[in-house]
Amino acid sequence: MELLTDRSKIVSNKKLSFLEKLYLPAIFEGMWITLGHLFRRKVTIRYPEKKKEFSEIYRGQHILKRDEEGRERCTACGLCAVACPAEAITMTAAERKAGEETLYREEKYAVVYEIDMLRCIFCGLCEEACPKEAIFLTKRIVSPELTRERFVYGKDLLLEPSDRLRRIDISGRQTKEVIGFKKDKKFKHNQ
Ligand code: SF4
Ligand code: SF4
């Protein structure tokens, strides 16, 4: 059989020597390595007493934003799903009905909006693609789960609370240039 890499090893069943049977050299070698690590800079921290500092540009769990009046901003245009390289986003669009103007900002909205957090690579392309400033990544960490299904986040986990005091601040995600671009009326999608 032709080998694809040169990483394969021939395994032999050679008999152990007397010294090897004592295992002492191997134990001392292991202890020597452990001793060496005692004096090196630690790469771990004492969580949860100590929290790791995140980079300014850290991208974590997404948020679906509401506008100033508490209406959902997402119009289910699907641009985020198209831009997503991991194909992690799926949605189902619905028409806004009369009387629902206080719930949804646009005439079309996402009745179902899901992100598979196990597929997501937190690249932020969905955020960049969104013309409605509806989706942003935040500094929040996706919680560990025991089943794969629970990593599929729906609107119940993604949509920010309508209570103004509990809204998620995403101002750190927008640079001055991006804010300026989004306000530029000569681009139709910014109007
Ligand atoms: S952050 Fe990237 S991978 Fe994750 S949902 Fe958005 S576009 Fe897809
Ligand atoms: S989050 Fe933005 S890009 Fe994605 S469907 Fe909603 S409006 Fe469109």
Query: Tens digits of per-residue pLDDT, 119-145?
Result: 999 999 999 999 999 999 998 999 999
Q: What is the mean pLDDT of the chain?
A: 90
Ligand in closest contact with the CA of 123: 1
Q: Is 89 in the pocket of ligand 1 (CB under 6 A)?
A: yes
Domains of the chain, first to last:
62-190 (3.30.70.3270)
In this prediction, residues 19-36 reach a mean pLDDT of 92
Give the tokens for residue 76.
Answer: 């289910």
Q: How far apart are CA 115 and CA 165, in angstroms?
A: 25
Q: Are 74 and 113 in contact (CB under 8 A)?
A: yes
Q: Cβ(75) to ligand 2 under 6 A?
A: yes
Q: How far apart are the first and last CA of the chain?
A: 64
* pLDDT at residue 71, rounded to an integer: 96
Best residue for ligand 1 mutational test, from 89, 135, 153 (most atoms within 8 Å of Cβ): 89
Q: What is the pLDDT of residue 191?
A: 62
Is 159 near ligand 1, meaning CB less than 6 Å away? Answer: no
Which residue's C-alpha comes closest to atom 7 of ligand 1?
84
Ligand 1 centre to CA of 125 (Å) is: 6
pTM: 0.74
Question: Is residue 15 predicted with pLDDT exceeding 80?
Answer: yes
If residue 36 lies in a helix (H) or strand (E), which one and from where to where? helix 24-38
Planar angle of CA 88, 90, 95, nearest 5 degrees: 155
Distance from the CA of 64 to the center of ligand 2, in angstroms? 9
Q: Which residue has the tokens 């509806």?
A: 134
- Rg of the Cα atoms in the chain: 26
Q: What pLDDT, on a 0 to 100 scale, did the predictor assign at position 67?
A: 92
